[in-house]
């Protein structure tokens, strides 16, 4: 038989095990009650919130597919007024968009501005006519000025040498008429490259005489050619007689002599 001491220890151990089991069982039961209550509360709150949100988004029974504009659940005069105002705003926005699109779109020319439609004279651009007329008037004035300048030059002497300072052919012609021969009245030289209207004068002489280059030798308004023509006439001994014949007009005579003969 066990000793009293061992029995006492065994009893104490059994009591401790029983107490521990009771405490653990009690705590487990309390934990299950808390969890069950917590889940039940969470489920209830969630369900209530979902039902509230769903009810807020539903159309009232009397709204008839959303025609209850003020959301009071009844179709009344306020709903009709709001509907008309909304329709007016939509029409105004649509008209504004159309007006903006039309303003940005290119507009066709008026019939009177289209050449070939209606009266041809009315179809012309009058501003262009005015510009063209001004240009023609300017050209006419310039042409008149050039003609007047040429007429003044031709009065300077019976023999006129239209030349350019850098042109070797002009230098050759001037050598014949100014150095080899003594001509009275003395030939008048016009250097076109330094004359203010040189280009215009040369163009006008081309139309008048058919000669576009320099030198251009003129006697009483008639061209006798350039340096090659002068050299050929001089070699054929025709130049002196040519100058005398064309230069002596209206009772005026032109004297032509070779300078080396005068020196002799």
CA distance 114 to 125: 9
pLDDT in the model for residue 63: 46
Using the predicted structure, report yes or no on whether residue 242 has a pLDDT greater than 60: yes
| pLDDT score recorded for residue 82 | 75
Domains of the chain are: 137-263 (3.40.30.10)
Strands, E, within the chain: which ranges?
A: 159-163, 181-184, 188-191, 216-219, 222-225, 255-258
Q: How confident is the model at residue 237 (pLDDT cuts 50, 70, 90)?
A: very high
188 within 8 A of 161, measured Cβ to Cβ: yes
The residue with greater pLDDT, 168 or 94, is 168
Question: String of b and e for 41-59 (b: at least 16 CB within 10 Å)?
Answer: eeeeeeeeeeeeeeeeeee
pLDDT higher for 150 or 128?
150
Torsion of CA 132, 138, 139, 144, to 10 degrees: 150
pLDDT at residue 152, rounded to an integer: 96
| Residue range 90-116: mean pLDDT, rounded | 69
Q: How large is the average pLDDT for residues 158-166?
A: 97
| 28: DSSP letter | H
What rounded mean pLDDT belongs to the chain?
79
User: What is d(CA 204, CA 218) in angstroms, rounded to the nearest whole number?
Assistant: 14
The residue with greater pLDDT, 218 or 124, is 218
Residue whose C-alpha is closest to residue 248's, from 240, 258, 260: 240
The reported pLDDT for the residue numbered 236 is 96
- Candidate ranges 18-27, 91-100, 248-257; pick with highest mean pLDDT: 248-257
Query: Cα angle at 234 between 231 and 236, to 5 degrees?
Result: 110
Q: Nearest 5 degrees, angle CA 62-CA 65-CA 68?
A: 55
pLDDT tens digit string along 105-142? 666 655 555 554 444 555 555 555 566 677 788 788 88
Please tell me the predicted confidence (pLDDT) of residue 196: 94
Q: Are strands 222-225 and 216-219 parallel, antiparallel or unpaired?
A: antiparallel
Phi-psi region of 80 (alpha: psi -120 to 50; beta: other; left: phi over 0): alpha
Choose between 167 and 33: higher pLDDT: 167
Q: Judge whether residue 21 has pLDDT over 80.
A: yes
Q: What was the pLDDT predicted at 2?
A: 64
d(CA 139, CA 183): 38
For residue 188, pLDDT beyond 60: yes
With a cut of 50, say whether residue 87 has pLDDT above it: yes
pLDDT at 201 over 90: yes
Tokens at 260, concatenated: 């080396």
Tokens of 160: 């006129």
Residue carrying structure tokens 């040429």: 150
pLDDT given for residue 36 in this prediction:
52
pLDDT in tens, 28-83: 766 655 455 555 566 666 667 667 655 655 545 444 444 555 555 555 566 677 77
Which DSSP string do the residues of 154-199 spell out, in sequence order? HTT-SEEEEE-TT-HHHHHHHIIIIIIEEEESPPEEEETTTSTTHH
């Amino acid at each position: 038989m066990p000793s009293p001491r061992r029995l006492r220890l065994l009893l104490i151990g059994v009591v401790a095990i029983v107490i521990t089991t009771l405490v653990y069982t009690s705590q487990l039961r309390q934990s299950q009650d808390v969890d069950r209550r917590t889940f039940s509360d969470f489920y209830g709150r969630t369900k209530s919130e979902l039902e509230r949100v769903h009810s807020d988004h539903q159309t009232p029974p009397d709204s008839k597919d959303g025609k209850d504009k003020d959301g009071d659940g009844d179709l009344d005069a306020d709903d009709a007024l709001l509907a008309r105002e909304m329709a007016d705003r939509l029409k105004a926005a649509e008209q504004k968009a159309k007006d903006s699109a039309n303003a940005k779109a290119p507009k066709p020319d008026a019939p009177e501005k289209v050449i070939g439609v209606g009266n041809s004279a009315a179809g012309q651009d009058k501003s262009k006519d005015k510009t063209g007329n001004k240009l023609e008037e300017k050209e006419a004035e310039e042409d008149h000025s050039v003609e007047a300048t040429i007429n003044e030059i031709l009065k300077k002497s019976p023999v006129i040498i239209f030349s350019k300072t850098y042109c070797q052919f002009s230098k050759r012609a001037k050598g014949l008429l100014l150095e080899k021969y003594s001509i009275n009245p003395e030939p008048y030289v016009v250097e076109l490259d330094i004359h203010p209207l040189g280009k215009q004068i040369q163009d006008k002489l081309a139309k008048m005489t058919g000669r576009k280059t320099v030198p251009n030798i003129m006697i009483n308004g008639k061209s006798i050619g350039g340096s090659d023509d002068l050299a050929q006439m001089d070699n054929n001994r025709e130049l002196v007689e040519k100058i005398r014949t064309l230069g002596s007009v209206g009772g005026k005579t032109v004297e032509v002599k070779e300078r080396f003969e005068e020196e002799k």
